[in-house]
């Protein structure tokens, strides 16, 4: 069964500041939606509201028509919402392989098995190794996540979400800070995921060439509000984007 | 198969663990007299107790001050049953099962109630509950014997008067004491291997993940309250088993041998000296600490006399046996300074 995701008037306020402002969007399977907007527009916060890291002040998130707004992050993850975080978010003192295995284990619903040692779970270990191969990290499998280079940490971040086998993929600037030869590994991976028409893919990305080549649809957020939504050519050409977003697009972000 | 595919790792560490376990396994035949055997049994009990604490602190990253309470529940369970129902194996079984039930339910309640918030809140709650429990145990003297505790007899097979073999290996008599020692030893070995298996399981890995990054663990679908509570319950059950074995060995249970806060501090010191999050650290930490606790004083007495006899009373003052706690503290500070990852962490790093 394919998945459907919708946000209805999704809103969050931090004190007086409205970080996400009544965003209503329907996401369809087989469609890659790029979410663009200036720094501080609320893109990451929008993701956090969908995957449950933050609770909405108003509005709803519907997955397969079910209102999941009251549910916690773990329950939403189990329903198939996957996140790869903008700020790398790993298990620093565990090895690369152990990091990925934790996600594989979660995907298979192995939460409380206490009596069968990891070493005997060939199935899980093999699956984790496959995924390490996909992001070209096999050679680093025994390193602890903390000692990896920035680029490798970004790849591992993405690997954790892939290993979770979600139905909705949320990439938050997956290639930020990656070198030119590393970024294609992740972008190719996203392109491959796109071939599976049953998945929803959402991608926050600042690099316009990446957005052009991957996106089927673009949403523009400015000051928390959705100001444009449509097919890439139309959205990019629209005056609101030219003014609100592309005006500052060449300024690549360094910090995040 | 009980083994978990989690060997000690590192040649030096393996050698050290093998040495300690072998010494404990043959203790009744190597050591003469009741004090050394008592030290060996104490090391066994504490190795298990500290290992069960390490599941909480080292693996799940949870600080609890109620570990002696669960240790005490196990010890009192067996003591009350043996005292009230008479010295039989059935009494031990009933006492142990009742203790496991109480410990498990109490751990579940504390965990679900307080781990929802922050783990620091959990630490405070365990401190409060453990203090209340200790007061309660000394007040309910009709049940627990109050401050005096309970002295009781064990089943005939385990009594010192029971002689199995007059002239065993090395000319050593095998009596009820020897059998009790092996009951403790093999009980600890079995439960320790079980703990090793648990921490090396998928569940154990999730505990580590939650310690490392609770936020990301949730994003993967792990419910951290459930896992943390499960860790607290497991720690409590194994601590209660350690308490039961301790009671059977001592044939006595009282506040000083189980519930006192100083034992809680000892556990913390042992887990830090040995090395957190390794489980093997518990064996090393318990061995080093219990031996130091029992022999440092005697050793200092010898040094004190020798230096005094050499005519250096000022220097001898440092070695006054009454100051042994000071030296233990100094040893602790030095070991934390030189081995921040514990003896186990150090030995693993050396032979990587
Ligand atoms: N937990 C929070 N508490 C208070 N304010 C927050 C919180 N999270 C986000 N904000 C604010 O909400 C706004 C949107 O932030 P968000 O991180 O979603 O932007 P973004 O579009 O992802 O930006 P960037 O491109 O820099 O990643 C910012 O002004 C930020 O300061
Ligand atoms: Mg962001």
* Class at the top of the CATH hierarchy for domain A1-80+166-256: alpha beta
pLDDT in tens, B289-347: 999 888 888 888 888 888 888 877 777 777 777 777 788 888 888 888 888 888 888 88
Chain A residues with beta carbon closer than 8 angstroms to that of B209: 91, 94, 102
Contact A106 B222 (CB under 8 A): yes
What is the A191 CA–ligand 1 centroid distance (Å)? Answer: 28
Strand-pairing partners, residue A63, are: A5, A66
Residue with CA closest to ligand 1 atom 25: A39
CB contact under 8 A, A110 and B202: yes
3-state secondary structure labels for all residues of A121-155: CHHHHHHHHHHHHHCCCHHHCCCEHHHCCHHHHHH
Instruction: Find all residues with CB under 8 Å of A188, minimum gap 6, and list them.
Output: none
* Tokens describing residue A253: 């972000």
Residues within 6 Å of ligand 1 by CB: A 14, 19, 37, 39-45, 86, 256
**Distance (Å, rounded) from C-alpha A202 to C-alpha A6?**
12
Residue B8, pLDDT score: 77
- Residue B39 sits at φ, ψ, to 5 deg, of -60, -45
Q: How far is CA A45 from CA A29, A33, A69, in A?
A: 22, 16, 15
Cβ of B116 under 8 Å from any chain A Cβ? no
pLDDT top residue among B163 and B222: B222
Distance in angstroms (rounded) separating the CA atoms of residues B324 and B330: 10
Question: Tokens standing for A44?
Answer: 């990451």
| Predicted ipTM beyond 0.85 | yes
CA angle A71, A75, A76 (to 5 degrees): 75
Sort out which chain A residues have CB atoms less than 8 A from B206's CB and list them: 102, 105, 111
B6: left (phi over 0), alpha (psi -120 to 50) or beta: beta
Given a cut of 60, whether residue A70 has pLDDT beyond it is: yes
Q: With an 8 Å Cβ cutoff, is B198 touching chain A? A: yes
Distance A87 CA to ligand 1 centre (A): 12
Low-confidence winner among A62-76, B14-28, B112-126, B254-268 (lowest mean pLDDT) = B112-126
Residue B143 token pair? 């049940």
In sequence order, the 6+-apart residues with CB closer than 8 A to the CB of A195 are: none
The set of residues, in sequence order, having a beta carbon less than 8 Å from that of B221 and lying 6+ positions away, is A74, A75, A77, A78, A106, A111, A164
Task: Compute, in angstroms, the gap from residue A45 CA to the centroid of ligand 1.
Answer: 6
- Give pLDDT, residue A256: 41
| Tokens coding B21 | 């376990």
Number of helices and strands in chain B (H, E): 17, 4
Tell me yes or no: is domain B11-350 CATH 1.10.3470: yes
Tokens 């030219």 -> residue: A242
pTM of the model: 0.91
Residues of chain A with CATH 3.40.50.300: 1-80+166-256
In angstroms, the Cα distances linking B316 to A217, B255, B259, B294 are 84, 35, 36, 20
For the stretch A112-149, pLDDT in tens is 999 888 888 999 999 999 999 999 999 999 999 999 99
Give the residue from A223, A13, A1, A73 showing the smallest Cα distance to B222.
A73
State residue A59's pLDDT score: 96
């Amino acid at each position: 069964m394919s998945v459907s995701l919708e946000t209805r008037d999704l809103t969050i306020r931090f004190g007086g500041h409205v970080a996400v402002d009544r965003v209503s969007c329907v996401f369809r399977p087989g469609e890659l939606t790029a979410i663009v907007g200036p720094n501080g527009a609320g893109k990451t916060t929008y993701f956090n509201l969908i995957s449950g890291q933050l609770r909405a002040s108003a509005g709803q998130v519907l997955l397969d028509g079910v209102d999941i707004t009251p549910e916690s992050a773990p329950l939403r993850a189990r329903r198939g919402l996957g996140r790869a975080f903008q700020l790398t978010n790993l298990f620093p003192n565990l090895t690369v392989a152990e990091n990925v295995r934790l996600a594989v284990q979660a995907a298979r619903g192995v939460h409380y098995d206490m009596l069968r040692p990891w070493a005997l779970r060939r199935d899980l270990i093999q699956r984790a190794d496959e995924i390490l191969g996909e992001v070209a990290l096999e050679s680093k499998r025994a390193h602890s996540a903390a000692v990896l280079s920035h680029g490798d940490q970004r790849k591992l971040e993405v690997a954790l979400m892939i290993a979770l086998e979600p139905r909705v993929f949320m990439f938050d600037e997956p290639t930020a800070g990656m070198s030119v030869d590393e970024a294609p590994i992740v972008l190719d991976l996203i392109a491959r995921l796109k071939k599976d028409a049953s998945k929803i893919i959402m991608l926050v990305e600042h690099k316009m060439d990446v957005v052009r080549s991957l996106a089927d649809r673009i949403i523009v957020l400015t000051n928390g509000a959705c100001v444009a939504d449509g097919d890439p050519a139309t959205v990019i050409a629209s005056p609101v984007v030219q003014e609100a977003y592309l005006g500052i697009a060449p300024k690549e972000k360094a910090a995040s | 198969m009980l083994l978990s595919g989690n060997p000690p790792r590192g040649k030096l560490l393996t050698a050290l663990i093998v040495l300690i376990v072998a010494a404990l396994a043959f203790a009744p035949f190597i050591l003469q007299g009741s004090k050394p055997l008592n030290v060996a049994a104490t090391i066994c009990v504490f190795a298990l107790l500290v290992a069960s604490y390490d599941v909480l602190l080292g693996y799940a990253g949870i600080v609890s001050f109620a570990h002696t309470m669960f240790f005490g529940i196990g010890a009192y369970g067996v003591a009350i049953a043996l005292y009230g129902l008479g010295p039989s194996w059935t009494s031990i079984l009933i006492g142990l099962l009742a203790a496991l039930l109480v410990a498990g339910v109490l751990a579940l309640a504390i965990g679900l109630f307080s781990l929802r918030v922050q783990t620091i809140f959990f630490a405070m709650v365990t401190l409060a509950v453990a203090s209340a429990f200790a007061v309660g145990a000394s007040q309910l003297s009709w049940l627990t014997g109050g401050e005096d505790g309970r002295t009781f007899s064990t089943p005939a097979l385990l009594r010192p008067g029971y002689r199995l073999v007059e002239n065993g290996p090395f000319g050593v008599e095998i009596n009820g004491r020897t059998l009790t020692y092996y009951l403790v030893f093999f009980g600890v070995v079995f439960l320790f291997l079980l703990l090793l298996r648990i921490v090396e399981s998928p569940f154990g890995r999730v505990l580590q993940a939650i310690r490392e990054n609770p936020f990301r663990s949730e994003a993967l679908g792990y419910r951290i309250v459930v896992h943390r509570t499960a860790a607290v319950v497991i720690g409590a059950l194994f601590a209660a088993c350690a308490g039961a074995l301790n009671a059977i060995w001592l044939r006595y249970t009282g506040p000083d041998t189980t519930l006192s806060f100083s034992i809680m501090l000892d556990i913390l010191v042992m887990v830090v000296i040995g090395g957190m999050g390794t489980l093997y650290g518990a064996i090393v930490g318990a061995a080093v600490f219990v031996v130091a606790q029992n022999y440092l004083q005697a050793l200092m007495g010898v040094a004190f006399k020798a230096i005094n006899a050499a005519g250096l009373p000022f220097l001898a003052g440092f070695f006054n046996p009454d100051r042994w706690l000071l030296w233990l503290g100094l040893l602790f500070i030095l070991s934390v300074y030189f081995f921040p990852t514990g003896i186990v962490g150090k030995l693993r790093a050396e032979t990587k």
